[in-house]
């Protein structure tokens, strides 16, 4: 599904939903089991599980793990 603000939403038969926010160049993926993943244009990744969240930023040639919640 394409929106007038240039966002795009894909819903897959298995229940996975991928939403692309055009303005911020961010992809939000939601799995049927509730796992959520945000991939930012800055190469940062935020993953949210039912009980905790984990962030990871990739800068140039190395990765920096951020504190989990």
Q: Where are the domains of the chain?
A: 8-66
Residue 55 reports pLDDT greater than 70: no
Write down how long the chain is. 69
| Average pLDDT for 47-62 | 60
Range 8-66 has CATH code 3.10.105.10: no
The residues with which 47 forms a beta bridge, in sequence order, are 37, 54
Distance CA 59, CA 42 (A): 8
Give the confidence band of 40 by pLDDT, cuts at 50, 70, 90: confident
Residue 8 has pLDDT above 90, yes or no: yes
Please, which pLDDT band fits residue 29 given cuts at 50, 70 and 90? very high
């Amino acid at each position: 599904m394409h929106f007038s603000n240039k966002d795009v939403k894909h819903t897959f038969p298995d229940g996975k939903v991928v939403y692309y926010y055009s303005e911020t160049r961010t992809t939000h993926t939601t799995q049927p089991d509730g796992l959520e993943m945000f991939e930012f244009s800055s190469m940062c990744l935020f993953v949210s599980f039912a009980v905790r969240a984990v962030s990871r930023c990739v800068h140039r040639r190395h990765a920096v793990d951020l504190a989990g919640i």
